[in-house]
Amino acid sequence: HAETGADAWLRYAALDAAAARRYVNTLPPVVVVLGNSPVEQTAQRELIRGIRGMLGVTLRVSSTVPAEGAIVLGLDPAVRKAVPGTPAGNPLAEDGYALSLRTAGTARHLSIAGGSERGVLYGTFALLRKIALGEAMEALNEHSAPYAPVRWVNHWDNLDGTIERGYGGRSIFWDKGVVREDLSRVSEYGRLLASLGINGCSINNVNTDPRILTAEYLPQIARIAEAFRPWGVRLVLSVDFGSPQRVGGLATFDPLDAGVAAWWKAKTDELYRAVPDLAGLLLKADSEGRIGPSAYGRTHADAANVIARALKPHGGLFFYRGFVYDHHMDWRNLKNDRARAAYDNFNRLDGQFDDNVVIQIKHGPIDFQVREPASPLFGALEHTNQAIELQVTQEYFGQARQLVFLVPMWKEALDFDMQARGAGTPVKALVAGKVFQRPTGGFVGVSNVGLDANWLGNHMSQANLYGYGRLAWNPDLTSQQIAAEWTRLTFGNDPQVVQTIESLQLKSWRVFEDYTGPLGLQTLTDIVGNHYGVSVEASERNGWGQWHRSDEKGAGMDRTVATGTGYAGQYRPAVAKRYESLATCPDELLLFFHHVPYTHMLHSGKTVIQTLYDLHYDGAVSVEGYVNSWKLLKGRVDERRYAEVLAQLEYHAGQAQVWRDAVNNWFHRASGIADAKGRVGHQ
């Protein structure tokens, strides 16, 4: 059958005969599910589907465990009871699972035990993944627990069916102002999410239409929740802070007004009647024109707590986005700095947020640029729950048209040591609440899939959704492990295919950086437009604050404490010291932290300007190479995907040249310094 990409990494393609036979000989031919919950039933169905696809055999369903053995699915205590002689082990974490194959007498049991119903499903997907990857089962005995409780995705879908920063077609949830009649794609999406352990999903844009909270929408939203429920994915709604006034008809939305608090309480109770397992609510306030507590001189904590308290009795969480900044900043004032905003807004409120509030912080201080340091806010909050917001949809990364694998970039942020309590406090541990013993926290990915058959507009971008989910479950996985897994699951186990695709993916972020904004310049795109094409000056001389301050004399933004905006001082001293000094600031972030002349010598022994020129040529050459590598896979990848990816890469190679020339010409003109290799302006 034609590979449309719809099944993504869950294709369950038939294994070769020898491998299939080996599994058929090892796995019990019977499946027993011990619980009646919809999620456990889903697990059983998925197991049968996967085994049938990969091994060509259909498991027999039994309601009791036969003496000769079975694959037994269920909650941990039920499995211990049902499978003879399962020894005492560690109790499983919530949503965790244990896989084990054991013989008892002459029987052979493969148990999939979950710490929750979701854990049973996650364990089932893990088992199927092992089979698809060709891993041996003979001594299977594995425990796995999620790194953090929050593993969510967000969607920026508008009620009319468009998606802000979505590049894979129209909304799977919404069309023409109502929830779609046919939600089969929502259910398929739930399956993809569950296979990664993702347990929450928001369905409407953070730039929210307030009508979402009207009575008219509740039964529609409940239908989406229903489609997700068998996959263990809980619904999340974005809300508008003005709702009490705009929807509720109150005269005010002041969070300290008793009537407003009562309105939120009543509205939340109503929501939970429609969706009893609603995971929580999400708010973007006082940012990019959204209204917020500043209208009444209230704090973000006041705003968050009034809604959080309404959610509390239902066990819901309230996510407050840390992406708050003034987009009318005076660009002439060299002390102004948008990068400071998240810390300046939230650090002083640390300790004032209720225990079911989570501050959702973008991984860098600006906005998903090609290179940013990790946000200092992660290292600052000690008494407040946090989540890291990672963007899966490639807003600033060539959208659906260029190949950029974001996992290596995310890993750098997640592994970065904020030195928040001495050394050894990487961002991942902070957001998971492990450093300051917070009750909750974790990971949020802005997914923005759409109705396109392949979800994200192209086949290769699926690796970002896969990688986000795998990191949310276990951020200690390496980029290489994730790329290898994804490639094998998505394109099969042919070694040349695996090596080629893995290698393309792994280098792609650094290559993209080379020709779109190296040395910490950030992505030199039209930041006031669609965030796609090259536009070196679009970020300058306006209030949006994505300035790189390049002119005839030099480039970069001085964010030091000594002479700049002071942003570097928002980090803990050991980190701040490193960024503050030209001697220790890494080259890749040089222009993010410092303004230097074009002739400034990098640690590499080359000037800034020549490095800019060279990297742009290097990047374009690398993308050219993508095309050649891909062509060697002809006949090894199914025709449809082969042709679609080839077309994408050929287009991508052209784009890299356009970027190269536009950026180099701009800096050539600005600096007046010739390219030592004589290329810029001449070819």
Distance CA 454, CA 109 (A): 37
Q: Is residue 22 within the footprint of a second copy (CB under 8 A)?
A: yes
395 is catalytic: yes
Q: Is residue 606 a contact point for a second copy (CB under 8 A)?
A: yes
Query: 643: which residues sit within 8 A by CB, 6+ positions away?
Result: none
Name every residue whose Cβ is closer than 8 Å to that of residue 173 and which is 6 or more positions away in sequence: 155, 157, 179, 180, 183, 186, 203, 204, 224
Give the residue with the Cβ less far from a second copy, 157 or 513.
513
Q: How far is the CB of 505 from a second copy (least distance, A)?
A: 8
Q: By the 8 A CB rule, do 155 and 447 touch? A: yes
Q: Which of 3, 188, 417, 452 binds a second copy (CB under 8 A)?
A: 417
**How many chain residues bind a second copy (CB under 8 A)?**
77
Question: Is the Cβ of residue 303 or residue 374 nearer to a second copy in the bound state?
Answer: 374
Give the nearest distance from C-beta 317 to a second copy in angstroms: 25
Q: How far apart are CA 492 and CA 133, in angstroms?
A: 9
Joined together, the tokens standing for residue 334 give: 């060299």
Under the binding rule (CB under 8 A), the answer on residue 205 touching a second copy is: no
Taken in order 339, 341, 346, 348, the sign of the CA dihedral is positive
Q: Is 522 in the site for a second copy (CB under 8 A)?
A: no
Greatest distance between any 2 Cα atoms in the chain = 82
Nearer to a second copy, 38 or 492 (CB): 492
Contact pick of 29, 84, 533, 597 for a second copy (by CB under 8 A): 84
164 is catalytic: no
Q: How far apart are CA 363 and CA 375, in angstroms?
A: 6
Span near a second copy by CB under 8 A; candidates 33-41, 331-339, 596-604, 653-661: 596-604
State yes or no: residue 588 binds a second copy (CB under 8 A).
Answer: yes
Instruction: Return the sign of the alpha-carbon dihedral for residues 660, 662, 667, 672.
Output: positive
Tokens standing for 222? 């409940």
Smaller CB separation from a second copy, 2 or 18: 18
Q: Are 633 and 497 in contact (CB under 8 A)?
A: yes
Answer yes or no whether residue 509 interacts with a second copy by CB under 8 A.
yes
Per rule CB under 8 A, is residue 618 in the interface with a second copy?
A: yes
Q: Rounded to the nearest whole angstrom, what is the least distance from the CB of residue 200 to a second copy in the complex?
A: 26
Stretch that binds a second copy, among 40-48, 268-276, 387-395, 403-411 (CB under 8 A): 403-411
Structure token digits, residue 431: 């957001």
* Catalytic residue status for 513: no
Can you tell me whether residue 421 is helix, strand or coil?
Answer: coil
Among positions 121-180, residues that touch a second copy (CB under 8 A) are 130, 134-143
**Shortest reach from residue 390's CB to a second copy, in Å:** 16
Among 58, 184, 496, 563, which residue interacts with a second copy (rule: CB under 8 A)? 496
Strand partners, 360: 321, 387
Residue 559 backbone zone (phi > 0: left; psi -120 to 50: alpha; other: beta): alpha
Applying CB under 8 A, which of residues 17, 87, 289, 437 lies at the interface with a second copy? Answer: 87
| Sites for a second copy among residues 233-292 (CB under 8 A) | none
For 115, phi and psi rounded to 5 degrees? Answer: -75, -10
Helix axes 495-516, 639-671, angle to 10 degrees: 20
Find the catalytic residue in 68, 135, 216, 288: 288
Query: Which residues neighbour 682 within 8 Å (Cβ) at sequence distance 6 or greater?
Result: none
Among 4, 58, 294, 478, binds a second copy (CB under 8 A): 478
**Quick check: 105 binds a second copy (CB under 8 A)?**
yes
Given the complex with a second copy, which of 362 and 411 has the nearer CB atom? 411
Instruction: Tell whether residue 639 is a contact of a second copy (CB under 8 A).
Output: no
Q: Which of 495, 552, 635, 683 binds a second copy (CB under 8 A)?
A: 495
CB atoms within 10 A of CB 264: 24
- From the CB of residue 104, how many other CB atoms can be counted at a distance below 10 Å? 13
Distance of alpha carbon 143 from alpha carbon 122, whole angstroms = 11
Least separation in angstroms between CB 97 and a second copy: 14
Any idea what DSSP says for residue 607? B
Nearer to a second copy, 294 or 499 (CB): 499
Closest distance between a second copy and the C-beta of residue 151, in Å?
20
Contact 410, 363 (CB under 8 A): yes
Spot the catalytic one: 40, 95, 254, 367: 367
416 binds a second copy (CB under 8 A): yes
Nearest approach in angstroms of CB 396 to a second copy is 19
Name the helix (H) or strand (E) containing 507.
helix 495-516
* Catalytic machinery residues: 288, 367, 395
